[in-house]
Amino acid sequence: MHFFITGAAGFIGANLSLALLQLGHQVTGIDNLNDFYDVNLKKKNLTDLQKKFIDFYKVDLCEKSELEQLPVHNIDFVIHLAAQPGLDPHTSFNSYLQNNTIATHNLLEYCKNFHAKHLKLFINISTSSVYGLTAQGDEQQVPQPVSYYGVTKLAAEQLALSYFRNEMLPVCSLRLFSVYGPRERNDKMFPKLIAAALLQTSFHLYSGSLEHIRSFTYVEDIVEGIKKLIENYENCYGEIINLGSNETYTVKECIHLVENLTHSSIHLKQLPARNGDQKSTKAQIEKAGRLIGFKPTTTLQSGVKQQIQFFKETLICE
């Protein structure tokens, strides 16, 4: 099958692309390779992907003409991972709007105009951030996003679903919960904790966040979930589906886990509380189990152990 993956050089995109390439599928990947975080991480991912013969194009989804000029045909699945992530106070609302909502609209138009006849499913990757400060209900929980990221991702999600309702484009949307693992960008919690432990630097902790609760989900479980969805794609037209671990941990428990696994102590440096930070998430995944047979299997200890090993190997290579 032929997969078209946006954000292919990013964290989840690279892990997913590698998994699909290893199964013998054709993967066309696009990424704008922007510098929101260290672009060398994306370039390293891209090098690994090119060794597995990905067809890669540097494309900015905000520019319609760049999409329309792609020499790409007969796409079976589009997996839309590209986004402006996070809660960066220095990133403008317009940047979130352009990269999350307008870019999604351009991609949907591209699929409608050039690939509608062959396309089996457009998989929009959304986020638990659309739920707001607490995300503990199922997919029927009323979205109340509190960040630019959550607001624009919700708009993108609903825009994608409108193409299913109005244009009969086969679309579904996955709401992911706190994904971690190898290739994760360096400004996320676990990479920062691991760096603080192994390199004996300070971990910057936002005030009040020690007791924040998360459904931390290992990236390979997300990859397996997407593969399950592909196998059962006809069950998912027009659906919103949560993907995440149904186990929860506090930030404090995660700090202790990294300390135990690295046999180190982590120095905490307090920062002011961050607006838009979710207080509590717990992935309700009954629908994913019913529709696609999704069942995460990686414990937090096992996943973090693998992420620590990846960090060490990357450090040695550098």
Report percent pLDDT > 70 for the chain.
Answer: 99
> pLDDT tens digit string along 107-132?
999 999 999 999 999 999 999 999 99
Give me the CATH topology for the region 2-176+219-244+284-294.
Answer: Rossmann fold (3.40.50)
Pairing of strands 26-31, 2-6: parallel
Q: What is the pLDDT of residues 255-304, one digit of tens each?
A: 999 999 999 999 999 999 988 899 999 999 999 999 999 999 999 999 99
pLDDT for res 89: 81
Q: Above 70 in pLDDT, residue 194? A: yes
* Token couple for 50: 């090119």
pLDDT of residue 317 exceeding 80: no
Mean pLDDT throughout 8-15?
99
Centre a 10 Å sphere on the Cβ of residue 276 and count the other Cβ atoms it contains. Answer: 17
Instruction: Exactly one of 96, 148, 149, 233 is catalytic; name it.
Output: 149
Output phi, psi for 287, to 5 deg: -65, -40
Q: How many CA atoms lie within 13 A of 151 on its CB side?
A: 11
Secondary element (H or E) of residue 5: strand 2-6
Bridge partner list, 203: 268
Q: How many residues does the chain have?
A: 318
Cα–Cα distance measured from residue 148 to residue 130, given in angstroms and rounded to the nearest whole number? 10
205 within 8 A of 196, measured Cβ to Cβ: no
In the prediction, which pLDDT does 185 show? 95
| pLDDT in the model for residue 46 | 98
Q: Report how far residue 152's alpha carbon sits from residue 315's, in angstroms, rounded to the nearest whole number.
A: 35
- Is residue 316 scored above 90 in pLDDT? no
Judge whether 186 and 192 are in contact, CB under 8 Å: yes
Is 149 annotated in the active site?
yes
pLDDT digits 0-9 by tens, 22-81 = 999 999 999 999 999 999 999 999 999 999 999 999 999 999 999 999 999 999 999 999
Domain boundaries, the chain: 2-176+219-244+284-294
**What's the distance, Cα to Cα, between the start and end of the chain in Å?**
35
